[in-house]
Amino acid sequence: MLRKFIAAGCMIILILSTGCRKAVEDEKVAADRTEAEFIQIFNGRDLTGWETSGGARWVVEDGLLVGTQGENNAPGDLFTTDTYGDFLVTVTYRVEWPCNSGLWFRYQSPQKAYQADILEYKNPVCYSGTLYCPGKMFLAMNEDKTLVDREGWNTIKVRAEGDHLQVWINDHKVADVHDDTTDSGKIGFQVHPGEQFGPMKIVVRELLLKEL
């Protein structure tokens, strides 16, 4: 009888361990599949697949994308040559302050676009992760400055699906709105004009995108 109990116990342990191992393997496969669905839209070497607008300076240094004002505080933008509709995009960046920049998305024109802002705005008070739309100003505001690392690396994630727009800053959701200004367009970065932003620098380490 004891041998039967021992055998049954061993069988249960074997089944449970096999099940746990399979669950872990399934989870790893799912994670790998999810990661594989993302594409790098900044290759870390050069500006292939990108185009500039305006007089700002955009260069790749040590595998990082760097944007600064041009001569006489000239502003400018950097855009993908491709356009995107529904997607999830993640950008890892840091800045040198004072700074007014942001991640453009669904950009069609200066009047028809969205931007996940990278800034410190005074009136109204809001911080990076704030969702901006030309002509409508802020669709949603991040009012918590503690969510942003002023000196280090930050991550902004944007999910755009239909008219549903969501923004996260360092894994904290700061925007969740519906708006139909534009349903597709380019992705890009901005360097703002003005002498007060002369020292600004935006540095991008990674830009990942998954189409939905």
**Residue range 59-117, pLDDT digits in tens:** 999 999 999 999 999 999 999 999 999 999 999 999 999 999 999 999 999 999 999 99
Domain 40-211, CATH number (from 1.10.630.10, 2.60.120.560, 3.90.79.10, 3.30.70.660): 2.60.120.560
Amino acid identity of residue 14, one-letter, is L
Torsion of CA 69, 71, 75, 78, to 10 degrees: -70
Top pLDDT among 178 and 27 is at 178
Beta strand spans in the chain (E): 39-40, 50-54, 57-61, 64-68, 76-80, 87-96, 100-109, 112-122, 125-133, 137-142, 154-161, 164-169, 172-178, 186-191, 201-211
- Locate 84 and state its tokens: 């995107």
Reported as a single tens digit per residue, the pLDDT across 139-192 is: 999 999 999 999 999 999 999 999 999 999 999 999 999 999 999 999 999 999
- Locate 184 and state its tokens: 């597709």
From CA 197, how far away is CA 102, in angstroms rounded? Answer: 14
Every domain of the chain and the residues it spans: 1-36, 40-211
Residue 130 neighbours by CB under 8 Å, 6+ apart: 116, 117, 119, 121, 138, 140, 141, 142, 174, 175
Exposed, middle or buried by CB within 10 Å (0-12, 13-18, 19+), for 177? middle
Looking at residue 4, its pLDDT comes to 53
Predicted confidence (pLDDT) at residue 31 exceeds the cutoff of 90: no
Report percent pLDDT > 90 for the chain: 83
CA torsion through residues 192, 198, 200, 201, sign = positive
Global pTM reads 0.82
From CA 129, how far away is CA 172, in angstroms rounded? Answer: 9
